[in-house]
Each structure stands twice: as structure tokens, then as C-alpha cells.
Structure 1
Amino acid sequence: MKALSPPRRLAVAVSGGRDSVALLLLCAAYARQNGSEITAYTVDHGLRPASAGEASRVGGWCEPFGIKHVILLWKGEKPNTGVQAAAREARYSLLIEAAQADGCEALLTAHTADDQAETVFMRLARGAGVAGLSAIPKESFFAAGAGEPLRVLRPLLEFTRKDVTSFLEKQGQSFVDDPSNDDPAFERVRVRALLAALEEQEFVSIEKLCMTADKLALADAVLCAQEDSLFDALGGCFHSWGGVSVSDWQAGRAASGLARRIIHAVGGGEYPPGEDKAAAAVFQAANTGSATLAGALVKKWNGRLWFFREPSALTGREGVPALSPAPVTKPRVWDRRFIVERQSATSIAVGPMGEMAAEFLGPRTGLFQGPREALSSLPGIYAAGKLIGAPALPFMGRSAASARCLVTERYQGGIVRFS
């Protein structure tokens, strides 16, 4: 991949905590030296009474450096459970949208070596493989919903929290201590305390865990290349309607990883399945005709092995309600597999085509290149409750809406989308 040039307009996420304040000071120095334009963004989640004052305090720290400061508010109802995960999703969506609206070329976040080590440890406890243990990359791409991806850089990953604290003390710079960072109700806080104790006993260290992450990132890149080569050797094909097919299958490490990536790509899940389960599902389909896993259906059909969205995961089954049509007022991500955009002033909604697919398509059903049941899980466009379009199919008109397939993007894994 061609190296990207250093961005000139930078967005910096500054919560007010020690790591992000250190990043702010470093960005200010970088801007003085290179003439870059910096904008600092603080997300006020509204979860603590002191959050508004802390956000304003960040603005005071930005002022002497001439750095523009913007406070972003997380509005609306907050969930009763999974607050941290929801806050993270909302935070990145707000940051990405604001940074792109201001013309920023990249977003900088203040993840440190401690964050990296904690992430490796937590994923190790869950039995993660090579990809998971690669942990936090120095550079990636994030997108807010259907928006374009934004480059995300993490320049502090090589520095520990102790390094950051020492730097701030030398600068005479204060910062905010979020009380949630000491709340043992959160897994990361418990892991942080455990790692500190283990490091004191010389059983493990932040440095060694980060070294492991770096080595596994290199190994993961090699394995992904092997999986891509196997996909080509198996006559793999990405179909525009969101399915994937191969002409044959074989066992092996690369095949297990490839199965995991394909099933994740077509299944619409947030996280990929384990490699062992993915390999077992494909082996079952190759030998018995079909298998399901993680929202995907693997089916032997017409001399090939096909991977596509499991229809009943969208149209409903026992314990899984049908996915209701959702209004399309602006470009939106649907089922994590398509970006759907309205093309006319007609009020429309998007939902699974379901049992109406064959009747709606009529003779054109024969033009569909894939197992017929896959049609049920494709996005259908509805107006006043009536199916009026199938924008994922290349032979259908797209007067009401367009649908851009994200399956290849999901397979490659280079972009994280926040709704």
C-alpha cells in the first residue's frame, strides 16, 4: 500500500484526561513547527454533572495555543446497560462527522502503550487469535454510518501512561481525572489494576505485551495475504448483491481464516466468529449441503459453495423477530451490509425483501446469479408498505434508491463503521 502523506488539517480528540491533554500539547508544538491547522474536539457525554465544566476547561487549555476548540454533545436517551460501548459509538460518530465537516484530513486519538497492553490482555482472556491480539493499530480508518472513511492516527501508542504523566508534570500542565477510570465495575479498570500487580511481580510488562501486539500484527498481515491467495486459487468471487462464492474448499490454517472472514463479511454481524467454528460450518456445508453460522448461510449450489446472509435472521424465526423496514431520509447503513440512499422525493423505507422477492421480480428472477433463497435477505425498498424496488440487483432500476454493497469492505476489514 502506498504510504499516505502527513495530513495538514488535523482533528484531535481531547477529553481532558492526561493522555489526550498530552496529545494536545504535542499537536500544538507540531503545528508551530509545520504550520498544520489543528482543531480540538471534546465530546460531552452528559453522563456526569461535572462533564460540561470539564469540556469547557479543555477550551481554556486550547486558547493559549490558538487552537480552535469544539464541544460535541451526546444528546438523547442513554442506555441503562452497555453505557461504555454506546458512549464509544456515539463519541466516534460525533468526532468523525465534525472533523469531516471542518475539512480535517485525519483524527488523532491519545491511545497509549497501556491501552494497548490492556487490550491485548483482555482479548487473550477471551481466547482471541492472531487478528484479535494485534490489538490497536497505529493507523486505521473510521466512518460515521454511511459517511466516507476518515484516517485515524494514534501517535502515543509507543508511550506509557507514566511517560505521559511525566511529560505533563514537566510542562506544568493540569488535566482531568475521570472517576470512572477507578471504578472496578468496568473490566478495563480491573485489568489495569491486575496488570500493575503482575508487572510489580515481574510476571508481565506493558512493553512485552505491546511487543507481542506488534509481532502479531505482522503475522496477521502475512496470514491475510495467504487467505487472499487461497481465495483466488479457489476461484472466489464477490457478487454485487452481497454474496460470495468459491468453486471448491480445502482444509488448513488459511482456509479457516478465510472462512471466518467470508462469514463475517456476508453475515452482517459486528464481530467475526471463531476460526474453528467457521471452518466447521464450511466443512459441514461442503459435505451435507448447507450450514449456518453468525448470521450467514453457507450452501452448496450449482457446483459452487455460496456464502450469503441467512434469510431467517432478517425475516424472523423462533427467538429472532423479523427486521422491520427502516425509513430512508438520508444515506444509511442497512444490516451492516449495504449503504442505501434515496434517489427521489418519494418517502421510502428499507427492509428485507422476504417472501415477496420472487413475486416482485417475476421473470427477472431467472437473472439472479445465486441461490434463490438469498433474494429474501436482500434490501427491498418499500413505499406505503408496498415493495417497489430491489436496488442491490444489477438488473433492477434504481429510480427509488441505490444500494452500495459493503461485503468486500467487511471482508478486507480496513474500515470500522459507527452507526
Structure 2
Amino acid sequence: MASELKTSIGEVEFSALMEPLGPFEPNPEIAVGFSGGVDSTALLHLATRWTRRRGGKIFALTVDHGLRAESLAEAKLVQRRVKALGVTGSILRWEDHKPVSGIQNAARQARYELLTRWCRRMGVLHLLLGHHQEDQAETLLHRLGRQTGADGLTGMTRLRETNYVRLLRPCLGTPKARLRAVAESYNLEWVEDPSNQNLAYARVRLRKLLPSLEAEQISAAALAGTAHRLASVRKTLECQTAKVLAAATELSGFGYARIRLDALINVDAEIAYRVLDRLLGAIGGHLYPIRYQLLVNLLENIQESGLKVSRTLAGCIILLQNEHILIAREAGRCEEQKTIAGPWQTWDGRYRVRITGPRIPKKQIFFIRPLGSNLGQKIIGKNTKNSLIGLNPAVRKALPSIWDHRGLVCVPHLGYGRTKSNTASVIGAQIEFLPKRPVTNAFFSVV
């Protein structure tokens, strides 16, 4: 049995692993998240053969987090090896502010953001990631320690569909030793990331525990198998959650959601937690689920008192409005002023925006930021539409507004635009409400 776990993965077997993750277009274009470690090196080798046999193109994307002085040099070394394989590669640099705490979580989110943004820009639909069986086991143990709900215990999924990209993990059920065997059998070179041995990180400490757990019959395979079985349970709960959302919820392009109070009071608590998580995630611009205990506390408040006093949670304000629960973005938690660069700019994890107009000055710089209360009230005062007059102040304050060096340019949601004598030079903006995490969890798949 031990020898089987170290057997290399052949082309036929890898094709079988890819099959349930389809369908794939003719001549598919595939991107691989490539750190240069043994797992991603083996995956790139297998994926390159799979893609080329189908007449497609493959790209290797290396993220430089910039957390160590030598990280850029290592990324360049990794990409030289990519080039030697005849694969097109690219280095994506994390240049944003680095947090003092929670650095691994922030780096992981930044990595996904950089990878998916590249795929969206280049029109590549499929992004392969090198997670394996031990990664799944570590994820399950990590979430157990955080007292996560049933959703968290399903671990990672082999197939996850986002707004633009399909995240595929073909080797999620495969032991790490078999990926190493692929690299060794083809004499592939890889790099070792020293952070993978740093005991300051929880995941590293959990990884060190796996051999001891296996001695007690709690193997990585058993943990990964448990996660897979729980995934089927999660899928059933997701269907029930979607029914409640469809029947009782209003989701507005103005960046808020409303759900009937009775829908949260009369439904099973486990479904209610999911409903609240989906709405808070979408309105708050979060990619990952809200902490389970926070949802429990919020639901208790709603069911026991009907939410007589407004609450804030996950960057949202939650209040009672005409027998409905209103969930709006907390203006003070919105992303701060951001320069609009490129044809489309994502803002606050919820909106896509682009500047429009027949004559946009090439050197003019535009910014996007939350509207705030004073300006919102002034604009509403000039507008006779009843639907806007009745708009909750919390919603207005968090609306996206476009600015330049002269001041406010436009607020598309309120129909406001700075007027000019020459109408041909009026600048506007197209804004789409497109949360990072959809309200319905259609991207969660069991394969």
C-alpha cells in the first residue's frame, strides 16, 4: 500500500482526474498557479502534456508576494525553468500594503486575486491549482480549530466557479508523495520555500501533526474523505438556502439586500445562518464565509427581539425596516479612495466601474470612493424620484462616487453628473454591482 502511494501519475490517470472538471473548449487555454515547489512543478508537467495533446495553450503564473528580500530573484529563477519547458510564464507581484498580522491569510487572498485578475484580463477561463490530499487534511484541521460550521468542514472543492474564472484542483484527492514521484521520475527541478518549515504559521504546525495522527488511524486520506462526504451534505443545504433566498430576498444594484423578517424566524437555524452569510458576504464584499459564531449571535438577536436595535457585522449595517431586515454596506468600512486604472476597476469587492464619455482626457485621473452623507442628501434633495427620496441613508452613504481633481464628477446610482455647457465633453461612469461572492453559492461543486 505504501508503495502505491508513491507511484507517479501517468497521462491516462491525469486525464481521468481532469475529466469531471470539464467541459473544456476545443484547444483549451489553461493557466497554472506555479510557485516552483514540487507540487506545482508536477502539476505543470502533467497539465502541459494534457493541454498540448488537445492543441491548447498553457501559461505558468508565479506570484511574488514580496515578503522576503530574495523572493523576486526566486520568482525569476522559477520562470527561467518555465521558459526552458517551452511554456509561457508571467510573474505577478503583490505590491499592496502588507498587514502586520494575519499575513498568511492576506497573502493567500492576494495570490488568488492576482491569479484570477490575470486570467480575466487574458481571457483564460481555467486556472489549475496544485492542492493535494495533505492540503485538504490541513484545511480540515485548521477549520476544526476555528470552530467552523459544516460548510468549513467540507474543505476545498475540486471545482469552483467564480464570476470570470474556473478554479480547478485535479490532484486534491492525490497524496503529495505521488506528485513528488512525478517530479522525480522526469528529473524535474523545484525549489523549497523556507516558509513551509516556519512553525510560526498554524498550517505548518498542523502539517507536522499529520504523522502522529496517522498512527491513531486519522490519516490525511481519512480526513480528506470526510471532507468529501460532508460536501454532499453541504450541497443539499445550499439548495435549501437558495430556495429561501429566491422566495424572500431582494438584492439591489444599489448595494443592499432586504429579506423578510419572517423568513429568518420560521426557517431552520442552519439554513438561516447560510442565508445571512450569503447576504453579508455579498454586501460586505467578502470572498470567504463569515465566522460561524458571529452568525449564531446575529440570528439569536433577530429571532428573540426582532432586531429592535441596528447591528453591524462584517462591514455591514443590519437594521429592521418595514418587517424586513435591511443589510447595507457600512460606509466607514468601504474601500478608501482608489484610482480608476484601466478600462475596468474593481472597488470595495462589490463593484466594477469604468469611465465613459465621448471625450475622456487621456491624462485626467479619476478616483472612486464612498459618497458619504452630506453630498448624498444634497443630491437627493434635487431629485424628485420617490424611489431615491426613500433610499435609506445608510445605503446612500456607501454608494460609489466618481471624483477628479476638481471635485465630484458623478454618482450614477443617483442620476447625478457634473454639468457642462458643452454636452459632448460630459464625463460619466458605468458601474456594475458584481460581488466577489455571489449570493447563491452556485460555484460550490461536488466532483
* Residue 60 of structure 1: how far off its partner (Å): 5.6
Q: Equivalent residue for 2:254?
A: 241
Is 2:18 the partner of 1:5? no
SS of 2:157's equivalent in the other structure is: coil
Runs (5+) with no aligned partner, structure 1 = 143-147, 315-322
Q: Which residue of 1 aligns with 2:370?
A: 352
- Mapped partners of 2:97, 2:252: distance in 1: 39
Q: Cα deviation per residue 1:335-383 (whole Å; 9 max; x = unaligned)? A: 2222222224364322222222121121336322543442122222334
Report the CA distance between 1:115 and its aligned residue.
Answer: 0.7
Q: Deviations over 1:166-198 (max 9, x none)?
A: 333333334222221111111111010012221
Pair 1:377 & 2:398 matched: yes
Q: Secondary structure at the match of 1:411?
A: coil
Equivalent of residue 149 in structure 1, options 145, 149, 164: 164
Secondary structure in 2 matching 1:364: coil
Distance 2:65 2:340 in 1: 27
The residue that corresponds to 1:131 in the other structure is 151
Unmatched segments (≥5 aa) in structure 2: 1-19, 418-425
**In 2, Cα distance between equivalents of 1:383 and 1:140:** 38
Q: 3-state DSSP class of the match of 1:351?
A: strand
* CA distance in structure 2 between the partners assigned to 1:55 and 1:292 by the alignment: 41
1:391 aligns with 2:419: no
1:175 alignment partner, SS class = coil
Over the aligned positions, Cα root-mean-square deviation in angstroms equals 3.2
Give the Å deviation of 1:199: 1.1
2:236 aligned partner: 222
Residue-by-residue CA offset, 1:57-111 (whole Å, 9 max, x unaligned):
5456545653333344445775555443443344334433444555433111111
1:199 alignment partner AA: E
Structure 2 length-normalised TM: 0.78
Q: How many residues align?
A: 399
Structure 1 residue matching 2:306: 3-state secondary structure: helix
* Cross-structure match for 1:191: 206
From 397, 403, 407, give the equivalent of 2:431: 403
Matched, 1:172 2:187: yes
The structure-2 alpha-carbon separation of the partners of 1:155 and 1:332, relative to structure 1 and needing over 3 Å to count, comes to same
Aligned to 2:339: 327
Alignment of 1:64-143 (within 5 A): 65-74=85-94, 81-141=101-161
Can you list the C-alpha shifts for 1:215-251, whole angstroms capped at 9, x where unaligned?
22222221121112123333x2112212212333224
Partner of 1:343: 356
Cα drift, residue 333 of structure 1: 2.5
Percent identity over paired residues: 29
- What residue identity is the alignment partner of 1:405? F
Note closer, same or farther for the CA distance 1:399–1:365 as it changes in structure 2 (3 Å cut): farther
Superposition TM-score, scaled by structure 1 size: 0.83
Structure 2 CA distance for partners of 1:77 and 1:125, relative to 1, 3 Å = closer
**1:228-286 deviations in Å (ceiling 9; x for gaps):** 2123333x211221221233322422223212222222234554242312313433672
Correspondence 1:36-51 to 2 at 5 A: 36-48=56-68, 51=71
Q: Is the 8 A contact 2:260 2:325 kept in 1?
A: yes
Q: Secondary structure of 1:70's partner?
A: strand
CA contact (8 A) 2:317 2:328 kept: yes
Report if aligned partners of 2:99, 2:106 keep a CA contact under 8 Å in 1. yes
How far, CA to CA, are the matches of 1:270 and 1:280 in structure 2? 24
